Amino acid sequence: MYIPTLDDMIAARERIAPHIHRTPVLTSRMLNELTGAELFFKCENLQKAGAFKARGASNAVFGLSDAQAAKGVATHSSGNHGSCLSYAAGRRGIPCTVVMPRTAPQAKKDAVRGYGARVVECEPSTSSREAVFAEVVAETGAEFVHPYNDPRVIAGQATCSAEMIEQVDNLDAVIAPIGGGGMVSGTCLTLSNLAPSVKIYAAEPLNADDAARSFRAGHIIADDAPETVADGLKVPLKELTWHFVQNHVADILTATEEEIVDAMKLTWKRLKIVMEPSSAVPLATIIKNPNVFAGKRVGVIITGGNVDLDKLPWNS
Amino acid sequence: MYIPTLDDMIAARERIAPHIHRTPVLTSRMLNELTGAELFFKCENLQKAGAFKARGASNAVFGLSDAQAAKGVATHSSGNHGSCLSYAAGRRGIPCTVVMPRTAPQAKKDAVRGYGARVVECEPSTSSREAVFAEVVAETGAEFVHPYNDPRVIAGQATCSAEMIEQVDNLDAVIAPIGGGGMVSGTCLTLSNLAPSVKIYAAEPLNADDAARSFRAGHIIADDAPETVADGLKVPLKELTWHFVQNHVADILTATEEEIVDAMKLTWKRLKIVMEPSSAVPLATIIKNPNVFAGKRVGVIITGGNVDLDKLPWNS
């Protein structure tokens, strides 16, 4: 297992700079008053393709040799990684295949195709996904880019907190949502090297709290198909992300479904940004844990903005 | 009638700097492809109190003498100017009174009160509003800050395009929504002095197209209570804003209600920002008039983000 290093992050930053946005940091006096903390929201919902995953996907795609790139890239994902890999492959002009369950929402398939990738459907089971994906790779010779358990992807996600510490001085803590742990691992990579005094927190839906339970147990616990409105956070940790979580995360905090939806609506209202339910989990946990965050300068990573505007969770 | 000058804008910029955000400029490849133009969205929905009107209100409030400031400020507004004046007065720690029709939405009254101002209700008629407002001023000695027909307010709004031309090089055109014309006038003030080659367009709902008709007629036409989803744009031009519109605007373009709502939803989806219907009128007209904008670098002013998340126009 290769653990990505600070040099990998620095190389990633240069490599992906032409393909990603330096996203803005927003603040809200009202949210500061509510939480007693000074919050700095790093808006990766405003990132290319609407999610931080454009960073890791771009780093993987633009790091390929020309020979490998000609064969393309492939992944399995029904979420942002699929559309972000499609985006990055489109920027390089190489083929991309995304294996998705045939039951995935049409909007998600359209997003992947919209950036130019081919969608190959599988049945909604792990065995079908793995079989179909193996066929795709055998047929095309495409390079597999895992959504998070990949050093190139983690080094790419790590560029986000490198920007943030240039944009905001003297942070006491940074908090990001945790699903598979790609963003949290990248954050650990950068901050443990460049700003080791900053405490790193992860935020997780109580309904999908496998990372929090893993953290307390000291080994990876994977749940089977948890149900949460924060649909980007259902996947389990893997060995590479577990390495970073285990070594550098101060704590993993959880929030209920209602707390997540409330924090989501509050952020839309106060920061005037469109963001996914997953992105609201950190604020939900900050509101819930004033003892941890009050009086602190806290960076909050808003991970993505891809949400169905016709099905907002407070209208359902 | 005093016409504000470039020096007034420069003084405003320095005066309000501690009280407003330098708002980011966002871009979207997909919206560029759709329109054939290069669009640069200046996000005043991310401004303090959620609207560009924090600029003009702050300039008026912080320009008052201490003696006048002690008596406070007052206005009549059921929209963003009321909450922005309340915000600015709160920052200076002076009294603020906003006269609002008793029929105004509770959320708007709450927003004004939330920043500290007193709300005084009137009947929903011009005569009642004027009578109640006169009483407030007689009683308090407060300084009247008009929502747009005020040189201090226009000089404040003018700071927005001063930022934009620092953030984006070589603009060919700038477009902003027009209601009373405060933002458009400020844009004219700055660009006619600092970037006279930039063409200035205004965008208006077809259902409230009094400014477009004024522009073609060569004199102010005021409609009585037009109905449009873009509720910030119902008010008529006044002499000061008419001066700028008449002398510096290239054209006033209109869009239907459906085109406005479609452009609003498209912007939420692609730029991941929460914005008011009024803010969508420029994009609606750009989509409709490729002959005017294709191939051009266009600054688009997103004027505000205060919208009821429980009553989105595409869900009604």
Mean pLDDT of A290-310: 96
Q: Are A184 and A216 in contact (CB under 8 A)?
A: no
Q: How many CA atoms lie within 13 A of B3 on its CB side?
A: 13
pLDDT of residue A316 exceeding 80, the answer is: no
- Kind plus residue range of the DSSP H or E element containing B25: strand B25-26
The pLDDT-based confidence of A208 (bands split at 50, 70, 90) is very high
Name every residue whose Cβ is closer than 8 Å to that of residue A103 and which is 6 or more positions away in sequence.
A124
Q: Model-level pTM? A: 0.94
Q: What CATH code would you report for A6-52+150-315?
A: 3.40.50.1100
ipTM entry: 0.91
pLDDT of residue B313: 94
pLDDT of residue A172: 98
Rounded Cα–Cα distance for residues B7 and B285 (Å): 32
Percent of chain B past pLDDT 70, that is, above it, reads: 100
pLDDT of residue B316 exceeding 80, the answer is: no
The SS3 call for residue B152 is helix
Listed residue (A302, A273, A303) closest to B272, CA to CA: A273
- For B144-175, what is each residue's pLDDT tens digit? 999 999 999 999 999 999 999 999 999 999 99
Fold of B54-144: Rossmann fold (3.40.50)
- For A217-268, what is each residue's pLDDT tens digit? 999 999 888 999 999 999 999 999 999 999 999 999 999 999 999 999 999 9
Fold of B6-51+150-315: Rossmann fold (3.40.50)
Q: Which residue in A269, A271, A315 is closest to B315 by CB distance?
A: A315
Percent of chain B past pLDDT 90, that is, above it, reads: 93
Rg over CA atoms, chain B: 18
Quick check: A310 and B315 CB within 8 A? yes
> Taking the CB of residue B130, how many other CB atoms lie within 10 A of it?
13
Percent of chain A past pLDDT 90, that is, above it, reads: 93
Q: Which residue in B45, B265, B309 is closest to A265 by CB distance?
A: B309
For residue A267 the two structure tokens come to 């952020």
Q: Which residue in A30, A46, A314 is closest to B26 by CB distance?
A: A46
| Cα A142–Cα A147–Cα A151 angle in degrees, nearest 5 | 85
Name every residue whose Cβ is closer than 8 Å to that of residue B80 and which is 6 or more positions away in sequence.
B49, B50, B51, B53, B232, B304, B306
pLDDT of residue A125: 86
Quick check: A275 and B274 CB within 8 A? no
Listed residue (B274, B261, B267, B245) closest to B154, CA to CA: B245
Q: Round the average pLDDT of chain A to a whole number and report it.
A: 96
Mean pLDDT of A87-92: 98
Rounded Cα–Cα distance for residues B266 and B260 (Å): 10
Residue ranges per structural domain of chain A: 6-52+150-315, 54-144
- For B31-54, what is each residue's pLDDT tens digit? 999 999 999 999 999 999 999 999
Fold agreement (B6-51+150-315, B54-144): yes
Q: Round the average pLDDT of chain B to a whole number and report it.
A: 96
Mean pLDDT of B219-226: 90
Residues of A at the B interface (Cβ-Cβ below 8 Å)? 24, 26, 29-30, 45-46, 48, 50, 114, 265, 268-269, 271-275, 305, 309-310, 312, 314-315
